[in-house]
Structure 1
Amino acid sequence: MTLKALSNVVSRLDNSCATLVKDIVATSWVGRDGLFVSAFVRLLGNLVSAHANYMGLVTKMLVRNLSFLPTSTGNLPGYVFVDRNTIYDRVHYALQYIIALVPTAASSTLFPLLVAEFPHKSERKLEHTCYLANMLRVVEYVPALRHKVLSVITDRVIKIDIEIQVDLEELEDDEGEELEAELKGALKEKEKKDVGANDDEEEEEEEVEDDGNKTDEDSDEEEDKDTVKAIRETVDKLDCMLDLLFKYYSQFLPDGTEKDPNSCSSTAVNTFEMIHNTFNTTILPTYRSRYTQFLLFWAAQKAPRFSDHFCVSMVEKALDNISPVGTRQAATAYIASYVARAKLMPAKDVRAVVRILCRWLSEFVDVRSVDCNGPDVRKFRPFYCVVQAIMYIFCFRWRELREEVEDEWGVVETSWTAGLDVMQKVITSRFNPLKVCSPAVVDMFAKIANHLQFVFCYTIIEQNKRKGRGREDDMLDSYFPFDPFLLKKSKRWIDECYVEWKPVPGLEDEEEEDSDSNADEDEDETEADELDSGDEGSETS
């Protein structure tokens, strides 16, 4: 009766009744019966229609109810218990109702509040995943906000992504190495289970309460344990958030069942373009992220045209003389890592990218050799980045870089793809890239190239060693953004489209024959691991 009476006089609830309106909006309504909820939502709609100044107050209340709510919210005295899913259904119903009445409020009021109420990066996993899921649900009925909302989500996810790397670097060496090993799956199964928080919401609530009752010890060891635990929880949080994003985007991208892989719906094309735009504005400039970029890696392989578009854009940035050096270096790292790791990328496209890069290298050496007095990464950084990219791609995709050619007599011979032979000229040039490129990449490339009789690098490498490899500042790092994806839950989206490191047939036997000691063999295995993991100890900014 009260709600009905208020609805009849809603036009009189002006600024003079602001206190009353605030009390009405603050009513515990989501846990009541259906009739009350319907009447209350209609009252909210009448209120914002009659008085636009109350839109912010009403919207803020609704947005705050999109966060992780305690069980008590739906357990009001005298009413049947209402679970969280039903509560969220009611909140979305109310939001959709008032946005339909005042469409302009979507951008002017709703979006800023969605951003403002996003959980702080220090909040628990459930706070983030619950709010993120509800944000994704909002864009279903407010499609005008889709791009902006997803850009905000990606920005928040990548901040958490970077935080993990920063925290790992701040740990003591022993603890940092142990946690890195755990993230790579090198610890016992029992230890690995501790990485993720329990998925059951109620159990996590109990864990939080229990943790609050523990007595803190003021020892460095206890602080380190707390830090490691916090990193594990952050990793689990990032994992679950990325999984939600993969799941959301999967609704709109091709699923591989299309008869014509190049035929994509407008929705799929628009979705990929949105992911790609967000990548360019948010992810590409963030050079230290580990996992967020895999959204683009996965989406690009959903259709050949998507993969082509991404490769072309990265090659253009990498070879653009006008672009900042940092942008060119990042783009080169992305094209190298993508071509090396994208399992669904056709062999002809792998060869096409390598040919373009090799052609640019050949022209660069011909034109700029007169300006080169020796290896200088500061002066020729983009050049060295491209050389390292080709070496990295070669280590992973040498099989695809071999082509069968039939001569005029019908004899089929195997040869390296056209243009790749420029690497001999590049390596022996006065630029001397083997001296400044990442040692992990150079050493593995030298072994594989020598074994396959492609090019021979050891003479130059030995000469460089005798002269000294130089300072770290004078060398490229080996950051490759699509290094192995180690998150447990969201990894399922990546497994089917990812190239894992494969030993070169016969190379291990050859190394064993030439090895003088077990120590040498261990060193070789370490180099392969560094190549596969991107030499994570190097500077990545």
Structure 2
Amino acid sequence: MMAFENNNKRVSQDISTATETKKRKVEFSNEITLHTLPSTQTQDMDDFTVAMFARFIKSGLDELDNRDNTKINEIGNRLALPARNPDRLNPQNMNVLLDILSGNVNRIETSRANHLIQSIINFEKWWELPTVTLNKYCTFIKILCSSITKWWQDIAITLISSFTLSTETCTPHHALLQYFLRMIPSSMSFMDTYLAKNFPNKNDSAKNLVNYISNLLQLTTYCKELRFQVWSLIIEKIISLDVELQNELDEMDDDVEEGFEEDDASDDDENSDISDESDNEGNDNDTSEVHENGSDSESEDENALMEDDEEYVKEISLNIKDLTAKMDSILTLLSGSIAKELTPENMENGDGVVVFNILTTLFKTHVLPTYFTKSIQYVMFMLSQQQPELMDSFLVTLIDISFSPNETSEKKIKSLQYLGSYIARARKLSRTQVIFVASYLTSWLNRYVIEREAEVDDVGGMDRFKQFYAAFQALCYIFCFRRTLFRDVDGAWECELDKFFQRMIISKFNPLKYCNENVMLMFARITQHEDIAYCFSIIENNNNERLRGIMGKSSSSTDSTTNLKEKSPPLRATSSVWSLATRQQFIDLQSYFPFDPLFLKNYKKMVQEYYIEWSDVSGDYESDESDA
């Protein structure tokens, strides 16, 4: 124990007396037997030490009243020592300190006691104190903040900063937070700031990220008022990871493509070298030696570059693995936690509706506007399938966004992509829900063709009709996955799809040309097999027209004399040139299917019962790893 200031000689005499008493109790015999102090007397010694410390604390408080904080700071210094330091205050003395301070909080309401209070608040691993001491610690914290409210924010920061520990370890943290959030409701105004500030960096360990999110979710169980802020924060962080993962994957793909291009360039260089060697035949030997040395040098450089590329690809691969593991753990945790709040009982009492409304809002504000995320959208995919009414609500949300006059064109198209992919993949959807969406889409597309088909011949690119193509592609995608649901009991096609598709594919919009090629090819195979429509001749014509555009030829006569007489190129030629110039824009539109198969191992297992694989419905058609 640290030597505290000693103003009384009688204390040292007492210690000497106790020592002498101990010596008199030790007896020796021929067998050298040692007799120790009775346990009751050892307890008396401990009580004596505790009493000394209690007097020291009270003396320190008396001196603090007289503006002398020397003793109080000495106690603070002992509290601030690391947990492994033997001089740190032990639990017995900690009990005494907390008891005395709890009954004298008004006496430490001065800046001179700040060091002592901060040392208590930041006491290292206070949650590992023995149960009795831990209870006294929590009681003191409650009394302190009730009397001196300025300390609550410091305590809140300390509690939240420990959220990287497991939820089991943070049980006392949550007990204190629950108490204060109930006692000081105004503190919710700054809690979200602290939660965001202490959130681990995305480069932090998966363990810390998962623990922090687990504790955030635990927080929402006793403070429902913070659900929106907490879930919003979690989803923002997941999106950040999701986008970074997608960028890493794209970068790896680009590196692979560049590698192929460099190989091709190397082949060209080799061919060029062969030609140079042929040209230099007959030159003197000195020239040949220089050429060979140059080749050796180039070879060494190429080997060095290859090694660098391999290391770079390896580094990206490890980063992808790390990000994938984090995403997998976090999404599994988040979906599993929120699913528990969407039970039939919670739906009945209204709390489940509130939960899903929050999720819907976050989907619209965070997930939907973000381009090409791979995983975060599966939270809504899975949770919406917990109850039939939730699926209805999600479908209505997507339809509203897709066709709202107040939404941007980009957001409408993204929503249509989600709508088509969701209907195709969501296993829990009923036939009624699928038919309803298909009916809505066919009605809208029919009206669109009637009202706007004449505009195709007007000057302007086909990007004017992106919403039409997105809606048609969504419907075709749905049909490829759900075709068995579209026949009624008499075998007739629901929504008169046979007549509808025949009308659409021959319209001036020519959707088979501007929608995703893979989807249109699969759609063509299925409609031909089902005797609905015949698309391959149109697809072939489109391909020929595209080829003529690439070669710089129009569909009209290429006779040079004729072309000289023409003052302007024909309309079809202009259309072909336009389609090439804007092709990339349509590729981005066509190729995004939000609910393509997951590649997160554990989360995929969780989602599996809600998900339709292409292999489940492909039937006689080829099983495509890219899922049509």
**2:81 is the counterpart of 1:2:** no
Deviations 1:400-427 (A, max 9, x none): 112223xxxxxxxx11112423222121
**2:274 is the counterpart of 1:274:** no
**2:494 is the counterpart of 1:417:** yes
**Matches of 1:45 and 1:254, distance apart in 2:** 35
Q: CA deviation at 1:350?
A: 0.8
Match of 1:472 in 2: 584
Maintained 8 Å contact 1:355/1:418:
yes
**Aligned to 2:383, which of 268, 279, 299?**
299
Q: Look up the equivalent residue of 1:296 and give its one-letter code.
A: M
Q: CA deviation at 1:391?
A: 0.9
**Matches of 1:285 and 1:427, distance apart in 2:** 30
**Matches of 1:143 and 1:504, distance apart in 2:** 44
**2:452 is the counterpart of 1:368:** yes
Listed as ranges, the matches of 1:140-289 within 5 Å are 140-171=221-252, 173=254, 219-254=308-343, 264-289=348-373
Q: Look up the equivalent residue of 2:232 and give its one-letter code.
A: S
**Matches of 1:491 and 1:428, distance apart in 2:** 40
Match of 2:516 in 1: 438
Q: Look up the equivalent residue of 1:13 and give its one-letter code.
A: E
Match of 1:22 in 2: 118
Match of 2:135 in 1: 38
Q: CA deviation at 1:337?
A: 0.5
Listed as ranges, the gaps of 5+ residues in structure 1 are: 69-83, 178-217, 406-413, 509-524, 533-541
**Aligned to 1:93, which of 171, 175, 199?**
175
**Matches of 1:487 and 1:530, distance apart in 2:** 16
**Matches of 1:17 and 1:170, distance apart in 2:** 56
**Matches of 1:99 and 1:494, distance apart in 2:** 35
Match of 2:209 in 1: 128
**2:139 is the counterpart of 1:61:** no
Maintained 8 Å contact 1:387/1:433:
yes
**2:206 is the counterpart of 1:110:** no
**Aligned to 1:397, which of 466, 482, 504?**
482
Residue 87 of structure 1 aligns to a residue whose secondary structure is: coil
**Matches of 2:312 and 2:104, distance apart in 1:** 59
**Matches of 1:151 and 1:464, distance apart in 2:** 46
Maintained 8 Å contact 1:55/1:109:
no
**Matches of 1:21 and 1:232, distance apart in 2:** 45
**Matches of 1:505 and 1:18, distance apart in 2:** 74
Q: Look up the equivalent residue of 1:4 and give its one-letter code.
A: D
Q: CA deviation at 1:112?
A: 1.7
Q: CA deviation at 1:250?
A: 2.1
Q: 1:417 to 1:283 in 2, by over 3 A?
A: same
**Matches of 1:466 and 1:314, distance apart in 2:** 37
**Matches of 1:176 and 1:342, distance apart in 2:** 34
Q: What RMSD, in angstroms, separates the aligned Cα atoms of the two structures?
A: 2.4
**Matches of 2:586 and 2:334, distance apart in 1:** 39
Match of 2:533 in 1: 455
**Matches of 1:172 and 1:287, distance apart in 2:** 18
Q: CA deviation at 1:441?
A: 1.1
Residue 253 of structure 1 aligns to a residue whose secondary structure is: coil
Maintained 8 Å contact 2:470/2:590:
no
Match of 2:602 in 1: 489
Q: CA deviation at 1:150?
A: 1.3
Listed as ranges, the gaps of 5+ residues in structure 2 are: 1-95, 259-306, 547-578
Q: CA deviation at 1:505?
A: 4.1
**Matches of 2:501 and 2:111, distance apart in 1:** 75
Q: 1:130 to 1:290 in 2, by over 3 A?
A: same
Q: CA deviation at 1:34?
A: 1.3
Q: CA deviation at 1:18?
A: 2.8
Q: 1:16 to 1:230 in 2, by over 3 A?
A: same
Q: 1:507 to 1:67 in 2, by over 3 A?
A: closer
**Matches of 1:9 and 1:263, distance apart in 2:** 49
Q: 1:490 to 1:505 in 2, by over 3 A?
A: closer
Match of 1:386 in 2: 471
**Matches of 1:14 and 1:479, distance apart in 2:** 62
Q: Look up the equivalent residue of 2:341 and give its one-letter code.
A: F
Q: CA deviation at 1:142?
A: 1.6
Deviations 1:322-362 (A, max 9, x none): 31001101110011001101111111211111111011000
Q: CA deviation at 1:320?
A: 2.0
Whichever structure has more helix as a proportion of its residues is 2
Q: CA deviation at 1:382?
A: 0.6
Residue 182 of structure 2 aligns to a residue whose secondary structure is: helix
Maintained 8 Å contact 1:289/1:481:
yes
State which drifts further: 273-282 or 351-360.
273-282
Sequence identity (%): 29
Match of 1:184 in 2: none
Q: 1:52 to 1:354 in 2, by over 3 A?
A: same
Q: CA deviation at 1:123?
A: 0.9
**Matches of 1:157 and 1:316, distance apart in 2:** 26
Q: Report the TM-score when normalising by structure 2.
A: 0.67
User: How many correspondences in the alignment?
Assistant: 446
Q: CA deviation at 1:147?
A: 2.0
State which drifts further: 388-397 or 108-117.
108-117
Whose radius of gyration is greater, 1 or 2? 2
Match of 2:563 in 1: none
Q: 1:314 to 1:160 in 2, by over 3 A?
A: same
Q: CA deviation at 1:309?
A: 1.3
**Matches of 1:306 and 1:377, distance apart in 2:** 36
Listed as ranges, the matches of 1:322-341 within 5 Å are 322-341=406-425
